[in-house]
A = this chain, B = another copy of it.
């Protein structure tokens, strides 16, 4: 591992993406999001994605010249068409619209159509909290989990994130996906020839399996069984049917270059506390709940570990595998 400061990593990722065909603003927005994830300790959503994004740009699964545009709007609602570009500029446009519209209409929603992997879901929400807004983010992703009772992967692991601004200090940040575990855990078990616990996955025939390789050939299982499956269905319909994008089962894995544009969907919702019980009431109520949570030994506020890592990353930089850094440097050259 090599220690590298964030601005240097940002410049490197940005140059690698630009050389791979992303137009300058797309390369910058993407690099910023991936470096944020690195700083938060989310390496699986960090600069390790650059080679995969670059592969998509070269293979036409993502369009480097795409410019996001507003395809529809009404009151608090806006549809941003990402035009099959990388997701981050389109998401930023949607978030900016939410920040502009939520104070006026109380609630705002940005749907992102024809989009791509949007990285760490909570990333997009930070700007909403800075504006004093409560935020929600959802996305679908390539098929990884079956519908409840089914054998074939239909839904993505479909991340859900939420942000709640607080009276003082950093907002409360919640970020989860709807599979029982992250696919990366099964990939690591397969690499290490280790079994996986029952309940994580099914094999290609829909049978429960503890064989990590059989699991990778099969499907992930949803968190909480039927509950996670139903929540994944809700997310899939909200971000795809409302935006006119592609379902998880209609797009190939993020780690493949073949298959055409991913065209998945995202949605952001922003709510202004002032339009409901008021800002002061909202802020006081949040503190009451968090105080009660912390009275119980062993409870940690979500997002705290990430934020501690972030502070350290801003001060000291992050560690990145040497081989990955070498790859990024070669791409950027």
Contact count band on A: 35 or more
* Closest B residue, CB atoms, query A244: B277
In the complex, A252 has a CB within 8 A of chain B: no
In the complex, A185 has a CB within 8 A of chain B: no
CA distance A226 to B247 in the complex (A): 26
Cβ of B134 and Cβ of A105 under 8 Å apart?
A: no
Contact with B along A88-122 (1 / 0, CB 8 A): 00000000000000001111110101000000000
In the complex, A174 has a CB within 8 A of chain B: yes
In the assembled complex, which residues on chain B have CB atoms less than 8 Å from the CB atom of A134?
Answer: 237-238, 242
Main secondary structure of the interface of A (DSSP, over half): mixed
In the complex, A278 has a CB within 8 A of chain B: yes
Question: Would you mind naming 21 contact pairs between A and B with Cβ atoms under 8 Å apart?
Answer: A72-B275, A74-B105, A74-B106, A74-B275, A75-B104, A76-B105, A77-B271, A77-B276, A79-B275, A105-B107, A134-B238, A146-B299, A149-B296, A223-B225, A223-B227, A223-B228, A224-B225, A241-B285, A244-B281, A247-B285, A269-B269
CA distance A281 to B173 in the complex (A): 33
Cβ of A247 and Cβ of B72 under 8 Å apart?
A: no
CA distance A237 to B287 in the complex (A): 10
Contact with B along A128-146 (1 / 0, CB 8 A): 0000001010000000001
User: If A164-B241, A293-B150, A302-B230 touch, does A275 touch B75 (CB 8 Å cutoff)?
Assistant: yes
Cβ of A278 and Cβ of B72 under 8 Å apart?
A: yes
In the assembled complex, which residues on chain B have CB atoms less than 8 Å from the CB atom of A271?
Answer: 77, 109, 238, 242
* Closest B residue, CB atoms, query A247: B289
CA distance A233 to B303 in the complex (A): 13
Contact with B along A12-26 (1 / 0, CB 8 A): 000000000000000
Q: Which A residues fall within an 8 A CB radius of B?
A: 71-79, 104-109, 111, 113, 134, 136, 146-152, 154, 160, 162, 164, 172, 174, 176, 178, 180, 222-228, 230-231, 233-234, 236-238, 240-244, 247, 249, 269, 271-278, 281-282, 285-286, 288-289, 292-293, 295-300, 302
